């Protein structure tokens, strides 16, 4: 990449990916809600309803608990900022994202963890019991999901000899036999369970519950209003879209832009949108037929994901 | 010049101790601190020179210690530990200036602290067995005196000091046996001679020496199951001393293991390093779990020290394992990651202990269930603790993340291997790394969130105000180091590489190429911490600008309204309704119930008139240390029983005592003849 | 267990029983329009639960008010409008006012049912403080005892503008 032209091209690609995730995230949530409604036998809100909700929220008043510190206001900002950064540097629409050489899978996981921790701290800053409850449950689930996640990353990195995410996608594109391998499926299965846990979908958490005592993620945001709530909702939907985007590109990278150029980028974005929508529909259908697990059954689910990942890692080692 | 720096360090340290002892109360702390800074700066200059040139500094004198003489050799590996100790000591003594009015200004304490610092600065420079052991013992005794400072006010302090004294001396005797055995075989007590002779040692001697060294130094580093003194002694010591103990002293345990295993014995068979890795995994998990479920702020930090040292041991074990199976390049990277984790730990743990001390001074309590709302009342201390907490949870863009990334990369790239030991150890290591990372994040969200955020849960927390400037600065200095090391780790990496090259024979000269990015030579692994930090900052500013823009366009009369928190319409909302540290940790405690085995005590008292009506229900729960309860207490009980039995030997009869003397004399004569 | 084909058919063409609901009702000019997004927080200030059943039916598959952008939320901080049912009993005055004050501006109050409008059959009861209008500024009233779901949907459509 040479000089100013390269920098501008990189900024454009970053901007395109960020825009796709920022607009596509709420649309993805809308699609998933629509699918659930249709299976339940009703029409449901239109697909762009979450975008309307966000537009309205940004014009409302901000509110703050009287004894909260600055952490309360910073939490949602960090959540969205981490999602924006990851959207810019991940291999979503192209295998050469800007700063792609720094897009290490491990780094991406920990940047997203920074967002979760910021929200958990802000929830404790509200001074309400709900904030503490949501924060406690969310950190417990995060702690138990991390072993599965990191060992799944290990399992996928072993055959490719690198944990750099664009490199993983490129290698998958060039050698399809690496994708059609048992360790990749096991690792991605484990990754899918972790995505459900981290983004608060069934069977881990019901995103549309009204019962505070059953909430995990929702309990952390009961105190936010207006733009802060808009940022939280945007951040959560961006994270879901991001994680699903990474999952589909590791599972089926075809369509992603492999060479520079606007046409390839547009095709890549289209392929990303199509694949993520399919993944969203599958997850939403699964959610309709699943009940929420009791909080103390979740360690069993996450331990199962961990076992999947470990078996994947050992398979990767054995098949050489 | 460079040899002189060690001498200046020793002299300055001694002067500091004398000043602390002799001067009147008004000036003794300031004088001691000034001289200690002199010692630290001299040591810093000398070690930086060693790291820059790569040549060791040698100093010999046979006049200071009779019979054995003093030999000092400061090589790059030791220099890294000296630099870390010096920086932590500068920050802690700066903190001490402000803390002195709270009880650390007695003659004993003012003399003991400089001696503690000086001995820690000189231990990595020891070049012979006698020098090493003298300095080690000096360090142990001075730290014991510091732990005992508060013993008149609190009874737990005396018990903690007893545990510390016994365990540190048990460890010291293990180290003594190991080193003396090695020097006896080599015929000379200097480390250089031992190293040369090490190849001729029989395997039994090497194995015994290594295991004894692992036990002794591991106990000092806080490796489970030899860690039980750590959660007792570190909280009871006054905060500057706790910061030094957790930030500098435990590192010397790590130094000792690398010294004996890699430098003196020149590496060993794979099972040595598997043992080290296994100890590391258990320490990391046990420490992280107890940190996540602890409600005492300083005890939480102490268990977290054991956790971090476990991660360092995983790195050292991985390094030795890769070296033993023939991959010196990856072994060097693993050793660099272990050293980086040590450096990082000193920075964030030192800062955390100093801020915890500030909290204790300001609120009078270190029980998290009594704190809260401190971020608004103690803004600087709160931000410093936040930075330290995020750093220890390995979150970008701070230093803990870089260290863990490097460890993960070394484990990943060590994997193309034919050795089954490595093939099993690496996924286990990665899983342990992940689980401890998650548990540490939960532990520190709890510590920051319950301790500093929300509403104050007690009178002490509600009336807290910020501590004196020097205390804030001391903690902030180390927190600043966390930020700097996180964004530009390249400033320490060349030095760490040089130190790792000393420890791993056959390592290439440059296993990491570090400029703006961190690159692993010959492998695919890149990290750009500065770019990540810049990206995060940019995104952060952009989102805040977006929010502000939205507010401005909304045409509302009041854009941001402060209101009481939403409590479902409840009329009465008190601070006691918030989550406490105990409740925060309760899901984790339930999940890991079998490992933690909390004590539960339920006391129901009924009304006198009828058993069907209860008058009062009291519920107590506490999490003790399982290993202390199931391993150490039975051992202490057995020793007690044996002691009681042995009292029968002393029945006061002179005849019996004379008979003892006769029997022993006959036995000795028989053995000699 | 449904087959894959039946699931795909359900997603593509939902079998709904929604009835024709008539035009949206007119709302006063000074009530803010929310451009298709209305989050409601329901408070039962002392009702007999008849109106609650109608609300449940409104958001159910038959009448499906979510089509028009309305949604029930758990926290008043997330809500635009407070949906109050029943006469305000003496014990619920404080919590009702707190709920209203916890809402961010712009905010509205919808009084649902005859009891919320003028205490209905519970007028002069010993536990009743008064209609919702005595406690909070009401922006929209939906008459009926209970109002049927079509009326509720018409009122909500008037607010969302869809």
Amino acid C33: pLDDT: 62
Question: Which member of A43, A56, A62 has the closest CB to residue C35?
Answer: A56
pLDDT band at B516; cut points 50, 70, 90: low
Of B226, B276, B284, nearest to B404 (Cα)? Answer: B284
pLDDT digits (tens, 9 = 90+) for B83-132: 999 999 999 999 999 998 877 888 888 999 999 999 999 999 998 899 99
Question: Residues A145-152: what's their mean pLDDT?
Answer: 94
Token pair, residue B86, equals 């010096």
Amino acid A124: pLDDT: 95
Is the pLDDT at A1 greater than 70? The verdict is: no
Amino acid A213: pLDDT: 87
CA distance B100 to B324: 50
CA distance B286 to chain A (A): 14
Is the pLDDT at A26 greater than 80? The verdict is: yes
Are C86 and C52 contacting, i.e. CB atoms less than 8 angstroms apart?
Answer: no
CA distance B573 to chain C (A): 12
- Interchain contact C129–A (C-beta under 8 A): no
Is the pLDDT at A182 greater than 80? The verdict is: yes
Token pair, residue B500, equals 């790792």
Amino acid C61: pLDDT: 86
Amino acid B303: pLDDT: 96
- Interchain contact A52–C (C-beta under 8 A): yes
Token pair, residue A269, equals 């974005």
Question: Which member of A131, A133, A154 has the closest CB to residue B427?
Answer: A154
Mean pLDDT by 10 residues, chain C (162 residues): 78 70 64 79 94 94 88 94 95 95 92 93 92 94 92 88 73
Is the pLDDT at B219 greater than 60? The verdict is: yes
Question: Residues B632-655: what's their mean pLDDT?
Answer: 90
Choose, out of C46, C92, C105, C135, the residue to mutate when testing the contact with B (most B CBs < 10 Å): C105
With tokens 């009828």, the residue in question is B610
- Interchain contact C34–A (C-beta under 8 A): yes
- Interchain contact B554–C (C-beta under 8 A): no
Is the pLDDT at B232 greater than 60? The verdict is: yes
> What is the DSSP secondary structure assignment for residue A241, as one 8-state letter?
H
pLDDT band at B239; cut points 50, 70, 90: very high
Amino acid C89: pLDDT: 95
> What is the DSSP secondary structure assignment for residue C77, as one 8-state letter?
G
CA distance C5 to chain B (A): 41
Are B562 and A136 contacting, i.e. CB atoms less than 8 angstroms apart?
Answer: no
Q: B634 or B62: whose pLDDT is higher?
A: B634
CA distance B401 to B591: 27
CB A35 to CB C11 under 8 A? yes
pLDDT band at B650; cut points 50, 70, 90: confident
Token pair, residue B517, equals 């990015």
CA distance B568 to chain A (A): 10
Residues 228-267 in A contacting C (C-alpha not used; CB under 8 Å) = 229
Question: Residues A253-257: what's their mean pLDDT?
Answer: 89
CA distance A287 to A285: 5
Question: Residues A100-126: what's their mean pLDDT?
Answer: 93
Question: Residues B215-222: what's their mean pLDDT?
Answer: 94
Q: Classify domain C32-160 by CATH number.
A: 3.40.50.12280
Amino acid A284: pLDDT: 94
CA distance B555 to chain C (A): 11
CB A223 to CB B566 under 8 A? yes
Amino acid A72: pLDDT: 96
Q: How many beta-carbon pairs below 8 A join chains A and C?
A: 92
CB B571 to CB C94 under 8 A? yes
Q: What stretches of chain C adopt beta strand conformation (E)?
A: 38-44, 70-72, 81-85, 88-89, 108-112, 128-130, 140-142
Query: CB-based contacts of B434: which residues, under 8 Å, 6+ apart?
Result: A146, A147, A149, A150, A151
pLDDT digits (tens, 9 = 90+) for B37-56: 999 999 999 999 888 887 78
CA distance B402 to B529: 8
Which chains reach chain B with 3 or more Cβ–Cβ distances below 8 angstroms?
A: A, C
Is the pLDDT at A17 greater than 80? The verdict is: yes
Percentage, residues of chain B above pLDDT 90: 63
Is the pLDDT at B187 greater than 90? The verdict is: no
Question: Residues A81-102: what's their mean pLDDT?
Answer: 91
Amino acid B479: pLDDT: 96
Find how far residue C98's CA is from the centre of its chain. Answer: 18
Question: Residues A262-277: what's their mean pLDDT?
Answer: 93
CA distance C45 to chain A (A): 18
Are B96 and B113 contacting, i.e. CB atoms less than 8 angstroms apart?
Answer: yes
pLDDT band at B572; cut points 50, 70, 90: confident
pLDDT digits (tens, 9 = 90+) for C69-101: 899 999 999 999 999 999 999 999 999 999 999
CB B561 to CB C104 under 8 A? yes
Query: CB-based contacts of B371: which residues, under 8 Å, 6+ apart?
Result: B297, B359, B363, B365, B450, B451, B452, B456, B457, B458, B461
- Closest residue on chain B to C95 (Cα): B569
CB A43 to CB C104 under 8 A? no
CB C94 to CB B557 under 8 A? no
CB B558 to CB C96 under 8 A? no
From chain C, the residues in CB contact with B563 under 8 A are 101-102
Question: Residues A285-301: what's their mean pLDDT?
Answer: 91
Q: What is the mean pLDDT of chain A?
A: 92
From chain B, the residues in CB contact with C105 under 8 A are 556-558, 561
pLDDT band at B540; cut points 50, 70, 90: very high
- Closest residue on chain C to A232 (Cα): C78
Which chains reach chain C with 3 or more Cβ–Cβ distances below 8 angstroms?
A: A, B
CA distance A274 to chain B (A): 27
Query: CB-based contacts of C29: which residues, under 8 Å, 6+ apart?
Result: none
Q: Render chain A in DSSP notation, one character per residue.
A: --HHHHHHHHHHHHHHHHHHHHHHHHHHHHHHHHHHHHHHTS--S-TTHHHHHHHHHTTS-EEEETT--THHHHHHHHHHHHHHHHHHHSSSSBSS-TTGGG-BHHHHHHHHHHHHHHHHHHHHTT-SHHHHHHHHHHHHHHHHHHHHHHHHHHHHHHHHTB-BHHHHHHHHHH-HHHHTSHHHHHHHHHHHHHHHHHTT-TTT--TT---GGG-SHHHHTTT--HHHHHHHHHHHHHHHHHHHHHHHHHH--TTSB-SSSHHHHHHHHHHHHHHHHHHHHHHHHHHHT-PPPPGGGHHHHHHHHHHHHHHHHHHHHH--
Q: What residue spans define the domains of chain A? A: 3-318
Choose, out of C102, C103, C135, the residue to mutate when testing the contact with B (most B CBs < 10 Å): C102
- Closest residue on chain C to B558 (Cα): C105
CB B569 to CB C95 under 8 A? yes
CA distance B431 to A40: 40
Amino acid A242: pLDDT: 96
CB C105 to CB B566 under 8 A? no
CB C11 to CB A285 under 8 A? yes
Choose, out of C98, C101, C107, the residue to mutate when testing the contact with B (most B CBs < 10 Å): C98
CA distance C76 to chain A (A): 8
Is the pLDDT at B454 greater than 60? The verdict is: yes
Choose, out of B394, B574, B579, the residue to mutate when testing the contact with A (most A CBs < 10 Å): B579
> What is the DSSP secondary structure assignment for residue B524, as one 8-state letter?
B
Question: Residues B141-162: what's their mean pLDDT?
Answer: 88
From chain C, the residues in CB contact with A41 under 8 A are 10, 14-17, 61
Of A195, A106, A111, A112, nearest to A154 (Cα)? Answer: A106
Q: What is the mean pLDDT of chain B?
A: 90
Question: Which member of B408, B531, B583 has the closest CB to residue A136?
Answer: B583
């Amino acid at each position: 990449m040479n000089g100013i032209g390269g920098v501008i091209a990189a900024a454009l690609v970053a901007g395109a990916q960020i825009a796709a995730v920022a607009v596509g995230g709420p649309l993805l949530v809308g699609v998933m809600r629509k699918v659930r409604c249709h299976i339940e036998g009703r029409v449901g809100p239109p697909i762009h309803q979450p975008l309307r909700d966000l537009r309205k929220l940004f014009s409302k008043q901000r509110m703050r608990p009287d004894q909260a510190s600055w952490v309360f206001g910073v939490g949602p900002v960090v959540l969205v900022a981490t999602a924006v950064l990851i959207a810019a540097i991940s291999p979503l629409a192209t295998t050469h994202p800007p700063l792609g050489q720094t897009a290490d899978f491990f780094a991406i996981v920990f940047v997203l963890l920074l967002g979760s921790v910021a929200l958990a701290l802000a929830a404790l800053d509200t001074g309400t019991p709900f904030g503490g409850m949501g924060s406690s449950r969310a950190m417990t689930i995060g702690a138990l999901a991390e072993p599965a996640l990191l060992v799944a990353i290990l399992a996928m990195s072993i055959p490719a000899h690198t944990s750099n995410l664009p490199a993983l996608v490129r290698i998958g594109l060039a050698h399809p036999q690496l994708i059609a391998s048992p360790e990749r499926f096991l690792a991605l299965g484990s990754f899918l369970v972790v995505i459900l846990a981290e983004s608060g979908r069934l069977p881990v958490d019901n995103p549309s519950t009204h019962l505070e005592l059953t909430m995990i993620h929702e309990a952390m945001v009961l105190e936010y209003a207006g733009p802060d709530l808009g940022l939280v909702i945007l951040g959560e939907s961006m994270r879901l879209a991001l994680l699903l985007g990474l999952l589909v590109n590791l599972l089926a990278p075809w369509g992603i832009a492999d060479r520079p150029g606007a046409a390839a980028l547009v095709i890549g974005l289209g392929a990303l949108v199509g694949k993520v929508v399919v993944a969203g529909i599958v997850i939403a259908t699964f959610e309709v037929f699943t009940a929420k697990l009791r909080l103390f059954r979740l360690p069993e689910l996450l331990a199962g994901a961990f076992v999947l990942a470990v078996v994947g890692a050992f398979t990767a080692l054995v098949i050489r | 010049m460079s040899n002189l720096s060690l001498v200046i360090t020793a002299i300055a340290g001694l002067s500091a101790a004398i000043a602390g002892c002799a001067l009147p109360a008004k000036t003794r702390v300031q004088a001691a601190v000034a001289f200690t800074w002199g010692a630290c700066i001299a040591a810093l200059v000398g070690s930086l020179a060693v790291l820059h040139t790569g040549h060791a500094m040698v100093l010999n004198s046979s006049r200071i210690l009779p019979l054995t003489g003093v030999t000092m050799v400061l090589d790059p590996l030791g220099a890294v530990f000296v630099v870390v100790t010096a920086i932590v000591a500068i920050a802690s003594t700066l903190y001490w200036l402000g803390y002195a009015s709270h009880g650390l200004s007695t003659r004993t304490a003012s003399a003991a602290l400089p001696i503690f610092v000086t001995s820690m600065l000189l231990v990595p420079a020891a070049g012979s067995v006698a020098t090493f052991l003298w300095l080690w013992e000096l360090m142990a005794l001075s730290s014991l005196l510091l732990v005992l400072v508060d013993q008149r006010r609190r009874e737990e302090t005396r018990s903690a000091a007893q545990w510390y004294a016994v365990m540190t001396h048990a460890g010291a005797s293990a180290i003594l046996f190991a080193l003396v055995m090695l020097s006896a075989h080599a015929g000379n007590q200097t480390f250089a001679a031992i190293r040369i002779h090490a190849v001729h040692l029989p395997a039994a001697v090497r194995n015994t020496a290594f295991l004894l060294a692992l036990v002794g130094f591991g106990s000092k580093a806080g490796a489970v199951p030899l860690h039980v003194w750590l959660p007792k002694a570190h909280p009871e010591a006054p905060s500057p001393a706790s910061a030094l103990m957790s930030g500098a002293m435990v590192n010397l345990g790590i130094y000792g293991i690398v010294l004996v295993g890699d430098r003196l014995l020149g590496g060993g068979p794979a099972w040595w390093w598997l043992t080290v890795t296994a100890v590391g995994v258990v320490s990391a998990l046990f420490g992280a779990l107890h940190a996540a479920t602890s409600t005492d702020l300083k005890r939480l930090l102490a268990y977290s020290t054991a956790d971090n040292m476990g991660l360092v041991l995983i790195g050292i074990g991985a390094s030795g394992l890769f070296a033993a199976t023939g991959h010196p390049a990856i072994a060097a990277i693993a050793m660099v990651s272990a050293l980086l984790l040590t450096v990082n730990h000193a920075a964030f743990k030192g800062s955390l202990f100093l801020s915890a001390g500030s909290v204790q001074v300001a609120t009078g309590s270190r029980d998290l269930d009594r704190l809260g709302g401190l971020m608004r009342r103690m803004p600087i201390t709160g931000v410093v603790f936040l930075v330290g907490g995020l750093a220890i949870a390995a979150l970008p863009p701070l230093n803990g993340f870089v260290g863990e990334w490097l460890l993960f990369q070394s484990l990943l790239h060590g994997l193309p291997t034919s050795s089954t030991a490595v093939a099993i150890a690496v996924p286990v290591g990665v899983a342990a790394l992940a689980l401890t990372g998650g548990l540490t994040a939960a532990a520190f969200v709890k510590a920051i969130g319950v301790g500093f955020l929300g509403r104050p849960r007690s009178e002490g927390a509600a009336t807290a105000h910020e501590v004196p400037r020097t205390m804030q600065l001391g903690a902030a200095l180390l927190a600043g180091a966390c930020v700097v090391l996180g964004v530009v780790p390249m400033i320490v990496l060349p030095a760490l590489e040089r130190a790792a090259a000393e420890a791993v024979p056959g390592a290439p000269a440059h296993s990491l190429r570090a400029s703006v990015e961190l690159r692993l030579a010959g492998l695919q692994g890149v990290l750009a911490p500065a770019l990540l930090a810049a990206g995060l900052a940019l995104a952060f500013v952009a989102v805040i600008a977006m929010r502000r823009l939205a507010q401005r366009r909304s045409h509302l009369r009041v854009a941001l309204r402060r209101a009481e928190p939403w409590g479902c319409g409840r009329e009465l909302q008190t601070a006691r309704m918030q989550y406490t540290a105990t409740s925060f940790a309760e899901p984790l405690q339930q999940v890991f119930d079998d490992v933690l085995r909390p004590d539960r005590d339920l006391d129901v008292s009924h009304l006198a008139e009828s058993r069907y009506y209860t008058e009062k229900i009291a519920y107590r729960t506490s999490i003790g240390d399982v290993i202390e309860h199931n391993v150490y207490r039975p051992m202490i009980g057995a020793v007690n029983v044996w002691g009681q039995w042995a009292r029968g030997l002393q029945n006061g009869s002179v005849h019996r005592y004379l008979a003892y003397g006769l029997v022993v004399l006959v036995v000795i004569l028989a053995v000699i003849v | 267990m449904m087959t894959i084909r039946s699931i795909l058919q359900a997603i593509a063409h939902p079998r709904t029983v929604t009835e024709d609901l008539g035009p949206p009702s007119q709302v006063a000019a000074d009530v803010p329009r929310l451009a298709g997004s209305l989050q409601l927080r329901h408070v039962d200030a002392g009702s007999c639960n008849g109106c609650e059943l109608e609300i449940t039916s409104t958001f159910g598959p038959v009448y499906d008010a979510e089509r028009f952008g309305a949604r029930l939320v758990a926290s008043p901080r997330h809500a635009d409008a407070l949906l109050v049912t029943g006469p305000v009993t003496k014990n619920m005055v404080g919590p009702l006012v707190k709920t209203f004050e916890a809402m961010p501006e712009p905010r509205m109050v919808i009084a649902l049912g005859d009891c919320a409008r003028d205490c209905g059959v519970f007028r002069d009861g010993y536990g009743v403080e008064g209609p919702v209008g005595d406690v909070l500024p009401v922006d929209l009233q939906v008459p009926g005892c209970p109002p049927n779901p079509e009326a509720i949907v018409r009122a909500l459509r008037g607010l969302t503008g869809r």
